[in-house]
Structure 1
Amino acid sequence: MTLEVVGLSGAPESVYRLLVSLGEMSVNEVVGRVDLSRLAVVSALESLAEQGMISVTDGIPLLYRATPPDVVLVPQLKRHAEALDLARTEVTELVQAYQATLRMQDTSHLIEVITGAEALRQHLQHIQSAAQTEMLWFCKPQYVAMPAGSNTAEFEGLARGVRYRVLYERAYFDDDGAVTNIAKAVEAGESARSVPHLPLRLAVADRAIAICPLVPGGPQGSPGQPKAALIRDRSLLSALIALFERYWEDAVPLDLDGSGAITGQTDASGRTPLSPMDRQLLSLLVAGVTDKAIATQTGLSRRTVQRRINGMLQLAGATTRTQLAWQAARRSWL
């Protein structure tokens, strides 16, 4: 059972799934199909009716019909998604507040302050040259120390087996030459994803050292010398890495098409249209209907259903069906 997040569990969930899969049924028919007592079935039906999850048709015997899941479940899922978005914003603000507090205190034992674009560029090259396993990046538009296409250390790192996971803020693609340079990096092995907005610039090497800005500045920033922090403190690194992973999970994967062009970017609203059939499959999937039952209802083969669902998983950048449902609600696909 996986619908607790939308307030449905136990016997009501079992009965609702059954009605979604098989259509309208009488009490006796439901009792014959689920491992529940008649009293439990009647109680579940009454609960579902109070929540608007089912409707009752007149006649003898009374027949119960499921309210479409995209009508009753998807709005609730969207509300939960919005709550998660708000919580993520609060966490980001807490991280920024923590950094501000450190700046007002003696931070010499926690961080090293880097001043100037050239010093920042050298440090970014150094941590990449020393990286053994992984580099994590937040890339925002308008460079501070490294113009697009100048980071040759990345290609050297990729060549020796360092994994690069890079998150690009959507506005980054408007910078001169940005799309071409991203395509070259992806072709070389970079794992790239896109998000509407990033909270800060960030580079993390081997989860052991990070560079992030303290104040704006530089060739494309505010007047004055940019200042950045070279961070080795374990607790602060953990917070920054957790922030990266949270954004990475929700981001849209970028890939190359047959012509070598970047694909996977969404429009300004973040919406990616699905076909009517895919929307129907997604609605049933959100309700927890099995692949076999979906195939029966839609007239598709079970293999076709699984192929379409796998396609939506890739489109959403999700690894599980639960993540797909969350992403569908977040991106207003239903």
Structure 2
Amino acid sequence: MLSAAGLGAEEEAAYRLLIRTTEAEPDALADQLGVPAEVARQALGSLLAKGLARTVPGDPGRFTAVAPDVALAARLHRRQAEIDRARHAMEQLTGEYLAHARRREAAQLIEVITSRTALREQLRLLQDGARHEVLSLCRAGHVAMTSQENTEELAALRRGVGFRVIYEETLLEEPGMLVNLADGITLGEQARALPALPVRMIIADGELGVLPLIQHTDGLTQLTAALIRPSSLLDALKALFESLWERATPVSLTNPGSPLDADHLYLLSLLLAGVPDKSIATQLKISHRTVQRRIAYLMERAGAQTRMQLAWHAARENWL
């Protein structure tokens, strides 16, 4: 226990025994410790040199302990000062190492992916390996796989990984999207929508991102994407996501502060996200008349004459 103060096992045992016996001779100490007399003498000599023991006045063959708060405090203080200096040196060396490593390994900060198969596999590995949170910008027109094919997100949500996803409005009009979106929200996904997104990307745990470098591809254009590791570029992409998140419209199924049930809340979210009535009816497999009836109910409850007034009331009353 006293190794931090620079004591070996025999020294610590001898020091503890001296404290309990007040005074002791080397041979008696050796008997009580169960060690050879020479080992006891060496331990006492070491304690004497380190200021943890002294000889009894008038009897140099007997030893007594120096009070621990006097002897050990100074040694521990010196050790702490040494540790602080070592930690400072370590931090300086770490800074130098990282600076040289970045220059040496700059090419490894960004890896170019040039096939849909490789991109699809990377997206799956990224979500499978996520531990805390995944950020995603989802534009219309899939590049590697559709939202319905992305079963890795649902698996990650089930094991407790957080997802914050911003959808482009026109993506929500694609067949099957609204049901898929509701499944994700039910499992804990936080979803929002914007009329348009500048890029599509995904970032896992703030440490690894994937960004398609060509937004629209045809049969003649080769897909190119970047796998981005911790860097200023990744920091900029995270900042972009947070900026867009603040402006985006929430898409919800539940809200503790809302008086609406799940069906009406989801419908209101989709309306405010800009999804057309017809698309809502088709994807949710309900009649257009049912959609109109639910919208009428929302407007009546809000005391609104127009959908703009409905949106204003919903924002003011925190319905979403």
**TM-score by structure 2 length?**
0.50
* Rg comparison, structure with higher value: 2
TM-score, normalised to structure 1, is: 0.48
Q: Which has the higher contact order (CA 8 A, sep 6+)?
A: 1
